[in-house]
Structure 1
Amino acid sequence: MIGILLTTVLSFLLFLILTAIAYYKNRMRRKKILQVAMGIFIFGFIVMAIVVYTFMPTITIPNMLIMNIVVAILFVPLVYGGSKIPVQYQTAHRSLTGVIVFAVAVAVIGVFVYSIFALQDTYDSISKSEEAEARPLNEDNTPISVAPESARNKVQKAMSVVPNTQFYDLGKLQAQQVDGEIVYIAPVEFSSFWRYFRGKETEGYFSIPATNINAQPEFIQNKMRYTNSSFFNHNVQRTVYSEHPDHIQSGEAQIEVDDEGKPWYIQTIYKPLVFSNRPDMDQIKVAVVDPVTGDVETYDADQAPAFIEGSVSSELAAIENEYFGKYVNGWLNSIFGKKDVKIPNESGTESSVTPIFNEGGEMFYFTDMASPKENIDSALGYTLINARTGTLTYYNGQQNQGIMDSKGAVQIVNKQYPEKNWTGTMPVLYNVDGHPTWIVNVLDPNGLFKQYAYIKAADSDFAVFGDTAKQTLNAYRLQIAQDPSSVEGSQEVDLTDKSGVINRVLVTSTESRQSVQFLLEGDTTIYTVNTSKAPLSIFLKEGDQVEMQARIRDNGTATVESMQIDGIN
């Protein structure tokens, strides 16, 4: 409540100044002015406290300026009218009141102008870097997650296990890692005010694996009083606002679960730049709310407890992408010249971004960037935003330029099964053996998972569909190995003589193709050999000594052109 009272008091500063001037200038009516002003102040304070309690405006200079103007317009005339203070309209502009009004008008214009220049300041506050391309995948990392629509569909069907299920709706799905497994967590939320009034507490949350299309949701009973759908002081947003009325809350609070299975509501907050509401990306914090007691603990985003994956909300990540792409050379350039401007695509699953996890269990938000020019469906690159720190990495190497964007990948999937009305969702760009590849989930009209699609980003005709992640990845790799354009693309890399001992071997097959991938001891490069070039390679096993000629790329992959196997050749 302290935050609400403080905001309400600050909204009356202009009212108090103008009333004090009227009191000072009208000595004969001071008693009347004081009585009327006190009555109006009490009435107005109650009205504004209700407004602040309902809408929770952040204490920022632009917000307080607007609120002070509104309060002054509504209540100062009542003071003048109730006290019968004469107004000299002819000389009003030369009075102290006129000076105050003029100063407020100048302040409004100044804040508006500053907010335009602050666009560049927000861009500068982003922690950012550029890299040519991401690390390639190997057979142990099939980075496919179940689409949120598919997971939500399964959880909705399991809602009947919730006690008093008629009280609740399913809340926001949040991807996170629990006990080493990537899962979606979704709380049950009150469906209406009367459900909240009757129930008081929600029953718990659902958990469903995000990497297994056959997994079923599990309901974990854990009563929560402070939730997104609760009302009055039990609302999470209002609880955070009471503690941090000067911080802007980004998006809706989300559930994250600690190692003991206890849920916590996580709310991203930030202090804006001075004199504006523009975000300062150096000032990102996270408020952690205990849903049982309502206690709030606040941390810098990168210092949050280890179980929290998304200190930075998907909504703030989307804003960060917009500032990074649009205002790289300032506001004027974003409108006229548009030099180096990049527009984030909106194909993501959460606020136009898609959460993904790397092999180390860190969560990132993925977004591909497109040209601001219309009717161009090629990507300029893509960004990954660390979900704990907000650090943005832009991948814009030669391989990532001129490739199709996420919208194009989704359209390819949508056209594959027009009679079934299957659609693509959650497109993510990965580096598969040196080839930018769109990986897309295929869903039916009911949101049920049907297939995976691997689409070569540089060739819209190169698409592989499959029922499982491993099967589709293997089939795609085989087609890549057999594709003449892939071979030609590697001719720019010089042949290198290489020898060593086999450490790991993977043989992948389809109806028409077969290839062998392997690692050498002490070497993390992924070598691929087509059995049509080296038929005996299919008999490779761990411990074999090999000599070969290969085209080794900088991205950690290599194509073998010829090889000799000791004991066989």
Structure 2
Amino acid sequence: MSGIITTTLMSFLLFILLTVVALLTRKNKKQILQTGVGLLIFGFIVVSVIVYIFLPPMTLANMIIINGVVAALLTPLLYAGARINTQLKQIHRSPSGIIFFLTALAIVGIFVAGILSLDNTYNSIDKKEEGEAKPLNENNTPISVAPESARNKIQKAMSVVPNTQFYDLGKLQAQRVDGDIVYIAPVEFTSFWKYLRGKETEGYFSIDATNVNAQPEFLDSKMKYTNSSYFNKNVQRAIYGAYPAYIQSGEAQIEVDDKGKPWYVQTLYKPIPLTNRPDLNEVKVAVVDPVSGKVKSYDTDKSPEFIDGSISSEMAADVNTYFGKYVHGWLNSLFGKKDVKIPNDSGTESSVTPIFNENGEMYYFTDMASPKENIDSALGYTLIHARTGQLTYYNGKKNNGIMDSKGAKQIVNKEFPEKNWEGSMPILYNIDGNPTWIVNVLDPNGLFKQYAYIKASDSDFAVFGDTAQQTLNAYRLQLAQDPSNVEGSEDVETVTKSGTVNRVLVTSTDKRQSVQFLIEGDSTIYTVNVSKAPLSIFLQKGDQVDAEVKVRGNGTATVENLTIKALNK
């Protein structure tokens, strides 16, 4: 409550000043004092209720605006109640008129400062730029189940919750718990009356985020302080009471420690002076114990280790907007638009998608498109570290002309028109040197059906499969057959292989011609592009070959150099 009381008191500074001015410049001081005190008490009650409901952050910009509004409403009542006669033509000359003019000027200045501060917010972003991401390793396929599919399964399991009629499913949050990547979703009250009956929620659901066949598990962990609780048991209000001068970014989310205890986590930031624009050097995370309501804040990168998302998805989305839109300032974002990049809204959380790298660290992925309409190519993409907030922009200069996430989703949508299956959660990976969109295919009910691997530079190059590993293997096999993929396995060491050919298959299309063969005693499928080894088109069973190859762990290999002994004498 202290934060609410402080904010309310700060809202009357201008009105108190105007009342003092009236006492010093008018004769009927007793009436002015009585009316002023009465209005102050009445206004304090009304404004405290408003502050309690809406929780405006106690920033300089907000305080100037709120003081102006309160003074504009109460000062005429003060003059009327104290029977102060002031002609309209005299108002602008009076001390009160001057103070009102300066306040109005300050409010206009706040809006101007908000525009001028865009450069400061952009410069406060911890950012770096790289050419392309590291290749995806076949032993690490960080493909998550689409949250729509996970939510659908959890909704069907809600009957296991005690007093299930009191609750709905809360915000779904991807995170790592005890080494496993899972979705966590708390149960939340459905209404004010259900809160009065229940007082506390029953717990949360957990479901594996990497296994499409996983089933949700409900964990009993009662919580009094939640997003859907009312009065002082509301998480947002508890955080506001502890840190009223900070702005809360998005909705608080559940994070679970390795002992299974849930905590509510909320990103906070201090604004740039005179504005509510975020200063990204002043970002913290508030952690709330949902049982006791105790609140503690940390620097985002120094929060407890079990917290993966110190930076909220809403904050990450805002950072993408500032980074892409205001690279050369506000005027450039309106006129010229040099180097401007617009984040696509294909993400699963506030237009961003959480993913995990091979070290278990969470990032927010977003692809960036041109501000010009009807342009479906991606300019690059960003990864924002969910604990440090560092933004890495992969500019895609090595891969010009790749489609954006909307284009990848459209390919999936057109593949199954009769079933109304749609693409969800497109993520761009670098697979063996090839930018590749990986998309979840969902039915109209949000149930997972397939994975789609789409070559980002070729809309006709798409592979569909039931599992991530199966689809990855099939996609790599097709990549190996594509003569345009001269760097198909650039991250794999070259080795020498010799033997007798016992199977040969020639694959030809309008764009591609390649030869695949097997060697006796070896189940690896070797693929050689005819453009790289023209004599390979004459390869036949029984030929002795020497080859320099790059072998991948999925049973395929790309031939870099081929010698056929019968033809190379």
Fold match by TM threshold 0.5: yes
Residue aligned with 1:485, SS: coil
Q: What is the rounded CA distance, in whole Å, between the counterparts of 1:64 and 1:440 in structure 2? A: 46
Residue 9 of structure 1 corresponds to 9
Q: What is the rounded CA distance, in whole Å, between the counterparts of 1:335 and 1:143 in structure 2? A: 38
Are residue 352 (structure 1) and residue 351 (structure 2) matched?
Answer: yes
Residue aligned with 1:43, SS: helix
CA displacement at 1:241 relative to structure 2: 0.5
CA displacement at 1:191 relative to structure 2: 0.2
Residue 107 of structure 1 corresponds to 106
Residue 62 of structure 1 corresponds to 61
Residue aligned with 2:162, SS: coil
Residue 241 of structure 2 corresponds to 242
What is the letter of the counterpart of residue 16 of structure 2? Answer: L
Residue 76 of structure 1 corresponds to 75
Q: What is the rounded CA distance, in whole Å, between the counterparts of 1:58 and 1:535 in structure 2? A: 70
Q: What is the rounded CA distance, in whole Å, between the counterparts of 1:497 and 1:331 in structure 2? A: 48
Q: What is the rounded CA distance, in whole Å, between the counterparts of 1:256 and 1:551 in structure 2? A: 42
CA displacement at 1:538 relative to structure 2: 3.4
Residue aligned with 1:94, SS: coil
Q: What is the rounded CA distance, in whole Å, between the counterparts of 1:459 and 1:309 in structure 2? A: 35
CA displacement at 1:72 relative to structure 2: 0.8
CA displacement at 1:108 relative to structure 2: 1.5
Residue 126 of structure 1 corresponds to 125
Please say if residues 196 and 230 of structure 1, whose CA atoms lie closer than 8 Å, have aligned partners that are also in contact: yes
Q: What is the rounded CA distance, in whole Å, between the counterparts of 1:497 and 1:295 in structure 2? A: 54
Please say if residues 533 and 562 of structure 1, whose CA atoms lie closer than 8 Å, have aligned partners that are also in contact: no
Residue aligned with 1:287, SS: strand
CA displacement at 1:88 relative to structure 2: 3.4
CA displacement at 1:97 relative to structure 2: 1.4
Q: What is the rounded CA distance, in whole Å, between the counterparts of 1:410 and 1:360 in structure 2? A: 28
What is the letter of the counterpart of residue 271 of structure 1? Answer: K
Residue 97 of structure 2 corresponds to 98
Aligned sequence identity (%): 67
Are residue 385 (structure 1) and residue 384 (structure 2) matched?
Answer: yes
Please say if residues 208 and 217 of structure 1, whose CA atoms lie closer than 8 Å, have aligned partners that are also in contact: yes
- Residues 368-379 of structure 1 mapped to structure 2, 5 A cutoff: 368-379=367-378
Q: What is the rounded CA distance, in whole Å, between the counterparts of 1:175 and 1:15 in structure 2? A: 48
List per-residue Cα deviations over 1:493-552 (Å, max 9, x = no partner). Answer: 9xx995589xxxxxxxxx999xxxxxxxxxxxxxxxx982674693579xxxx9964699
Q: What is the rounded CA distance, in whole Å, between the counterparts of 1:216 and 1:483 in structure 2? A: 39
Residue 484 of structure 2 corresponds to 485
Residue aligned with 2:346, SS: coil
Residue 197 of structure 1 corresponds to 196
Residue 396 of structure 1 corresponds to 395
Please say if residues 479 and 488 of structure 2, whose CA atoms lie closer than 8 Å, have aligned partners that are also in contact: no
Q: 1:157 to 1:331 in 2, by over 3 A?
A: same
Residue 426 of structure 1 corresponds to 425
CA displacement at 1:325 relative to structure 2: 0.3
Residue 306 of structure 2 corresponds to 307
CA displacement at 1:92 relative to structure 2: 2.2
- Residues 96-495 of structure 1 mapped to structure 2, 5 A cutoff: 96-487=95-486
CA displacement at 1:246 relative to structure 2: 0.7
What is the letter of the counterpart of residue 358 of structure 2? Answer: E
Q: What is the rounded CA distance, in whole Å, between the counterparts of 1:196 and 1:449 in structure 2? A: 34
Q: What is the rounded CA distance, in whole Å, between the counterparts of 1:432 and 1:536 in structure 2? A: 29
What is the letter of the counterpart of residue 410 of structure 2? Answer: Q
Q: What is the rounded CA distance, in whole Å, between the counterparts of 1:399 and 1:457 in structure 2? A: 13
User: Aligned-pair RMSD on alpha carbons?
Assistant: 2.5
CA displacement at 1:199 relative to structure 2: 0.3
List per-residue Cα deviations over 1:81-103 (Å, max 9, x = no partner). Answer: 11101213323222211221121
What is the letter of the counterpart of residue 23 of structure 2? Answer: Y
Q: What is the rounded CA distance, in whole Å, between the counterparts of 1:123 and 1:371 in structure 2? A: 19
What is the TM-score with the length of structure 2 in the denominator? 0.89
Q: 1:21 to 1:195 in 2, by over 3 A?
A: same
Residue 524 of structure 1 corresponds to none
What is the letter of the counterpart of residue 538 of structure 1? Answer: D
Find 1:538's aligned residue among 502, 522, 530.
522
Q: What is the rounded CA distance, in whole Å, between the counterparts of 1:385 and 1:540 in structure 2? A: 39
What is the letter of the counterpart of residue 220 of structure 1? Answer: L
Residue aligned with 2:227, SS: coil
Q: What is the rounded CA distance, in whole Å, between the counterparts of 1:376 and 1:486 in structure 2? A: 25
What is the letter of the counterpart of residue 355 of structure 1? Answer: P
Residue 20 of structure 2 corresponds to 20
Runs of 4+ aligned structure 1 residues displaced above 6 Å come to none
What is the letter of the counterpart of residue 14 of structure 1? Answer: L
Q: What is the rounded CA distance, in whole Å, between the counterparts of 1:356 and 1:467 in structure 2? A: 20
Residue 562 of structure 1 corresponds to 561
Q: What is the rounded CA distance, in whole Å, between the counterparts of 1:121 and 1:382 in structure 2? A: 22
What is the letter of the counterpart of residue 438 of structure 2? Answer: I
Q: What is the rounded CA distance, in whole Å, between the counterparts of 2:524 and 2:335 in structure 1? A: 60
Q: How many residues align?
A: 528
Q: What is the rounded CA distance, in whole Å, between the counterparts of 2:117 and 2:318 in structure 1? A: 14
Residue aligned with 2:56, SS: coil
What is the letter of the counterpart of residue 532 of structure 1? Answer: Q
Q: What is the rounded CA distance, in whole Å, between the counterparts of 1:158 and 1:550 in structure 2? A: 50
Please say if residues 490 and 551 of structure 1, whose CA atoms lie closer than 8 Å, have aligned partners that are also in contact: no
Q: 1:497 to 1:221 in 2, by over 3 A?
A: closer
List per-residue Cα deviations over 1:338-371 (Å, max 9, x = no partner). Answer: 0000000000000000000000000000000000
Gapped regions of structure 2 (runs ≥ 5): 498-504, 508-513, 526-544, 564-569
Q: 1:490 to 1:212 in 2, by over 3 A?
A: closer
Please say if residues 381 and 401 of structure 1, whose CA atoms lie closer than 8 Å, have aligned partners that are also in contact: no
Please say if residues 327 and 340 of structure 2, whose CA atoms lie closer than 8 Å, have aligned partners that are also in contact: yes
Please say if residues 264 and 289 of structure 2, whose CA atoms lie closer than 8 Å, have aligned partners that are also in contact: yes
Q: What is the rounded CA distance, in whole Å, between the counterparts of 1:417 and 1:204 in structure 2? A: 38
Q: 1:64 to 1:124 in 2, by over 3 A?
A: same
CA displacement at 1:111 relative to structure 2: 1.3
What is the TM-score with the length of structure 1 in the denominator? 0.89
Q: What is the rounded CA distance, in whole Å, between the counterparts of 2:171 and 2:396 in structure 1? A: 35
What is the letter of the counterpart of residue 70 of structure 1? Answer: V
CA displacement at 1:490 relative to structure 2: 6.7
What is the letter of the counterpart of residue 431 of structure 2? Answer: V
Q: 1:94 to 1:177 in 2, by over 3 A?
A: same
What is the letter of the counterpart of residue 90 of structure 2? Answer: T
Q: 1:369 to 1:537 in 2, by over 3 A?
A: farther
Q: What is the rounded CA distance, in whole Å, between the counterparts of 1:243 and 1:81 in structure 2? A: 39
